[in-house]
């Protein structure tokens, strides 16, 4: 089984989230490709079993600037038979805008024929031990969905 984890980060928190996810995938025997969002073409997702996006959220719930092309292209992709999941770090200080990039990416994936394999995960700043547990469960659900 293969997975592709695409992350966006400014200060490193979302790369940390991506790395927790990648460790859980590797521990389960999944081969993982990790790329930064501005260096990634959406059609790379067509060759994977599990597609994961890990975006940060900025100004008033905005998507990462450097990921806007990727976000727009995602809506036009045909990801039939691909399982997807989105997890991201934001800051609860921003209250109603907390981690809004997560549901935004989920809505974009929903246009691609891909199948949602796990509920989105929202993380406050750097992932702590509890977040690692939640992210490991996220990965378990994605793998189970990919096996059925």
Residue 103 binds to ligand FMN (criterion: CB under 6 A): no
Residue carrying the six token digits 């806007």: 68
Q: Find the binder of ligand FMN among 4, 9, 63, 143 (CB under 6 A).
A: 9
Chain centroid offset of residue 28 CA = 18
Q: For residue 60, is it left (φ>0), alpha (ψ between -120 and 50) or beta? A: left
Nearer to ligand FMN, 49 or 131 (CB): 131
* E-strand stretches of 40-132: 50-54, 83-90, 115-116, 121-124
Q: Find the binder of ligand FMN among 5, 14, 21, 51 (CB under 6 A).
A: 14
- Minimum distance from CB of 53 to ligand FMN (Å)? 13
Residue 40 binds to ligand FMN (criterion: CB under 6 A): no
Q: Token digits for 1? A: 């089984």
Neighbours of 12 (CB within 10 A): 12
Residue 35 binds to ligand FMN (criterion: CB under 6 A): no
**Residues in touch with ligand FMN (CB under 6 A):** 9-14, 56-61, 89-91, 94, 97-99, 125
């Amino acid at each position: 089984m293969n997975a592709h984890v695409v992350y966006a980060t400014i200060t490193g928190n979302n790369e940390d989230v991506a790395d927790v996810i990648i460790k859980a995938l590797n521990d389960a025997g999944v081969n993982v490709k990790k790329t930064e969002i501005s260096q990634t073409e959406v059609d790379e997702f067509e060759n994977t079993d599990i597609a994961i996006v890990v975006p940060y959220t900025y100004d008033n719930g905005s998507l990462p600037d450097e990921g806007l092309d990727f976000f727009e292209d995602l809506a036009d992709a045909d990801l039939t038979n691909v399982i997807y999941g989105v997890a991201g770090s934001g800051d609860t200080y921003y209250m109603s805008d907390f981690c809004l990039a997560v549901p935004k990416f989920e809505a974009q994936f929903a246009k691609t024929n891909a199948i949602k394999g796990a509920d989105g995960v929202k993380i406050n700043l750097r992932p702590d031990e509890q977040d690692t547990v939640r992210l490991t469960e996220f990965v378990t659900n994605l793998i189970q969905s990919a096996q059925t």
